[in-house]
């Protein structure tokens, strides 16, 4: 099981790394070929992708949970069949509404500039069709993930990312506009849809609809009782990113949307890196029955995530200005500040509590995730308008950081309430974490006094800070031998090497 979990995580990491590379190549090319405003418009219209939240109705997570628990049986076939039927009906209905009210969405909600109105219309239409296809295909993804075939879904996501960003680059180099970019995205979605269903059929077989209609009412009730709460949590979460972009467009200017989006791209790639690595936890925690085992797993993972997040945060803050200078070259300060605060907030306050969030989602407490998302949206909106007149664009940075901090505190409260545990059982571990963070910050400050060239900063500072981090991990004793054996096994190349690096 450990080997399969790591295989799934590894393919998730590879998928995220490739996506990151393609993303960082495409964005400056997009801005260079079509301009900053065109990219801002593209980002706004791409919000249609977030409308998947409205069509999801929580069936993907619910289906993943039930198939993981039940295994391959007639009841699982019934769950798959009913989920597919329900999701298809909802997705097609929402897509119809999106197409019918296209002018209202583009003009009144997204406030797209008049100069781009014709191209954005076609881009919008193609994105509606593409996201309809992607949404229906999530049922096949859940079927594979529930069988711990996550390495397959991640491989196919690599294919999709390669097609998505690769076709975008080709179309941009051919000097095509937003309309043609929409076609590229639709092509990528169609190819992914075909391949994901091929592998779902290969590993699960033909879905047997026998008994599905007979048990339709019971299965719908079973699916929606949990799924509706998962859906509401996702629906509330929807209002954060796209609504924030709309706020920026309406109150500050469409050009600033691109600055915020670039910061979100960094955050999403790092979030995706951890999310993909820990995605196998969802079916794994679903299968666990012993409360004490779940408690120990979640607490330990949270500690490890915090310990590893600290060096990443310092390295990121230390290098982001140099990276933006070399990567984009324009608006360096505003983009760097945006990236530093948004990414740091998520690395410190969101990623470490990912395990408890998964626990709440799959262990019958999805209502609590709704409250977490509501708090996030509420704090984000309130802080934005409180600081808008004082800080202008930077009000959204403060709002975003404050929202994830308060969500972090609420997650810790739920962990204490339901598992009777905290991230740190002893004050000593917290002191070690804070010491690690400030030692690395001081080393970064010293290194910046010595190194001034942007390219050298990107090479020397990460290597130095990473080396210092490993030394601190070793001599401040952040990890034990039992930790290494638990996660990597005993007497193998990986565990033996890790023992040498992290332990005295």
Q: What is the pLDDT of residues 136-176, one digit of tens each?
A: 888 888 888 777 777 788 788 888 888 888 888 888 888 88
Instruction: Give the DSSP H or E segment for 431.
Output: helix 427-450
Mean pLDDT of 100-126: 79
Name the residue among 132, 138, 130 with its Cα closest to residue 185.
130
- Find all residues with CB under 8 Å of 401, minimum gap 6, and list them: 341, 342, 344, 345
Distances (CA, A) of 215 to 74, 75, 136, 210, 275: 11, 10, 22, 10, 35
Q: Which of 83-87, 153-157, 224-228, 390-394 has the lowest mean pLDDT?
A: 224-228
463 — pLDDT class (breaks 50, 70, 90): very high
- State the Cα–Cα distance between residues 140 and 193, nearest whole angstrom: 9
pLDDT at 439: 92
- Above 90 in pLDDT, residue 283? no
**Between 269 and 434, whose confidence is greater?**
434
Instruction: Report the phi/psi class of residue 253: left, alpha or beta, with left for phi > 0 and alpha for psi in -120 to 50.
Output: left
Mean pLDDT of 267-288: 68
Distances (CA, A) of 181 to 164, 168, 169, 174, 192: 9, 6, 9, 11, 17
44 — pLDDT class (breaks 50, 70, 90): confident
- Above 60 in pLDDT, residue 481? yes
pLDDT at 57: 54
Mean pLDDT of 472-476: 81
Assess contact for 130 and 167: CB atoms under 8 A.
no
Instruction: Give the DSSP H or E segment for 478.
Output: none
Mean pLDDT of 193-204: 89
- Above 60 in pLDDT, residue 11? no
Mean pLDDT of 425-452: 87
pLDDT at 190: 94
Mean pLDDT of 434-452: 91
- Above 80 in pLDDT, residue 368? yes
Tokens of 208: 């047997």
Name the residue among 18, 22, 12 with its Cα closest to residue 141.
12
Assess contact for 436 and 310: CB atoms under 8 A.
yes
- Above 70 in pLDDT, residue 4? no
pLDDT at 296: 81
Between the two ends of the chain, the Cα-to-Cα distance in Å is 29
Assess contact for 47 and 303: CB atoms under 8 A.
no
Phi then psi for residue 87, to 5 deg, are -65, -40
pTM over 0.75: no
Kindly state the greatest CA–CA separation across the chain. Answer: 73
Mean pLDDT of 360-381: 82
Assess contact for 447 and 318: CB atoms under 8 A.
yes
- Above 70 in pLDDT, residue 54? no
Q: Which of 11-15, 64-68, 269-273 has the lowest mean pLDDT?
A: 11-15
Tokens of 305: 């995530």
318 — pLDDT class (breaks 50, 70, 90): very high
- Above 80 in pLDDT, residue 490? no
Assess contact for 336 and 320: CB atoms under 8 A.
yes
Q: Which of 204-213, 290-299, 391-400, 406-415 has the lowest mean pLDDT?
A: 204-213
pLDDT at 30: 81
- State the Cα–Cα distance between residues 273 and 71, nearest whole angstrom: 28
- Above 80 in pLDDT, residue 114? no
Instruction: Give the DSSP H or E segment for 31.
Output: helix 2-34
Q: What is the CA radius of gyration of the chain?
A: 23
- State the Cα–Cα distance between residues 483 and 485, nearest whole angstrom: 6
- State the Cα–Cα distance between residues 378 and 7, nearest whole angstrom: 38
Q: How confident is the prediction for the chain on average, in pLDDT?
A: 79
pLDDT at 408: 92
- State the Cα–Cα distance between residues 477 and 250, nearest whole angstrom: 51
Candidate ranges 16-25, 429-438, 493-502; pick with highest mean pLDDT: 429-438
Instruction: Write down how long the chain is.
Output: 504
Classify 425 as helix, strand or coil. coil
Mean pLDDT of 199-217: 74
pLDDT at 443: 93
- Above 90 in pLDDT, residue 191? yes
pLDDT at 256: 82
Name the residue among 311, 412, 294 with its Cα closest to residue 352.
412
Name the residue among 360, 448, 334, 353 with its Cα closest to residue 409.
353
Mean pLDDT of 229-243: 63
Mean pLDDT of 190-204: 90
Q: Which of 19-23, 151-155, 158-162, 459-463 has the lowest mean pLDDT?
A: 19-23
Mean pLDDT of 303-313: 86
Q: Please state the separation of Cα 259 from the chain's center in Å.
A: 19
């Amino acid at each position: 099981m450990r080997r399969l979990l790591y295989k799934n995580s590894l393919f998730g990491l590879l998928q995220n790394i490739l996506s990151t590379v393609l993303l960082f190549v495409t964005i400056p090319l997009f801005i260079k070929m079509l301009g900053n405003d065109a990219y801002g418009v593209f980002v706004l219209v791409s919000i249609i992708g977030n409308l998947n939240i409205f069509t999801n109705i929580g069936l993907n997570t619910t289906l993943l949970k039930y198939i993981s628990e039940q295994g391959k049986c007639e009841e699982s076939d019934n769950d798959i069949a009913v989920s597919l039927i329900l999701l298809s009906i909802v997705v097609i209905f929402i897509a119809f509404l999106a197409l019918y009210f296209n002018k209202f969405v583009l003009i009144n909600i997204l406030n797209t500039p008049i100069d781009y109105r014709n191209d954005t219309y076609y881009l919008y239409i193609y994105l509606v069709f593409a996201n309809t296809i992607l949404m229906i295909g999530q049922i096949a993804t859940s079927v594979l993930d529930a069988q711990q075939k996550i390495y397959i879904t991640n491989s196919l996501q690599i294919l999709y990312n390669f097609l998505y960003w690769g076709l975008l680059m080709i179309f941009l180099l051919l000097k095509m506009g937003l309309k043609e970019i929409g076609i590229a995205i639709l092509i990528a979605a169609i190819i992914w849809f075909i391949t994901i269903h091929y592998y779902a059929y290969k590993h699960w077989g033909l879905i047997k609809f026998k008994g599905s209609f007979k048990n339709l009412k019971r299965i719908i009730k079973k699916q929606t009782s949990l799924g509706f709460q998962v859906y509401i949590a996702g629906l509330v979460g929807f209002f954060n990113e796209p609504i924030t972009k709309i706020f920026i467009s309406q109150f500050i200017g469409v050009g600033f949307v691109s600055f915020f989006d670039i910061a979100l791209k960094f955050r999403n790639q790092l979030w995706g890196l951890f999310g993909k690595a820990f995605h196998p936890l969802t079916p794994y925690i679903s299968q666990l029955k012993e409360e004490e085992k779940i408690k120990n797993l979640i607490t330990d993972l949270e500690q490890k995530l915090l310990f590893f997040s600290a060096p990443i945060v310092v390295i990121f803050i230390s290098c982001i200005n140099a990276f933006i200078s070399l990567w984009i070259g324009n608006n360096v300060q505003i983009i760097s500040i945006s990236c530093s605060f948004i990414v740091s907030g998520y690395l410190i306050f969101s990623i470490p509590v990912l395990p408890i969030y998964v626990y709440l989602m799959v262990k019958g407490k999805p209502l609590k995730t709704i409250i977490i998302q509501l708090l996030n949206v509420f704090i984000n909106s309130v802080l934005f308008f409180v600081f808008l007149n004082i800080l202008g664009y930077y009000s959204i940075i403060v709002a975003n950081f404050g929202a994830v901090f308060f969500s972090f505190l609420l997650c810790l409260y739920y962990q204490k309430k339901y598992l009777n545990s905290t991230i740190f059982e002893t004050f000593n571990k917290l002191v070690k974490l804070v010491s690690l963070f400030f030692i690395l910050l001081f080393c970064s400050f010293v290194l910046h006094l010595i190194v001034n060239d942007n390219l050298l900063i990107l090479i020397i500072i990460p290597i130095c800070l990473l080396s210092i981090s490993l030394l601190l991990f070793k001599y401040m004793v952040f990890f034990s031998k039992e930790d290494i054996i638990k996660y990597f096994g005993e007497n193998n190349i990986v565990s033996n090497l890790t023992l040498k690096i992290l332990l005295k």
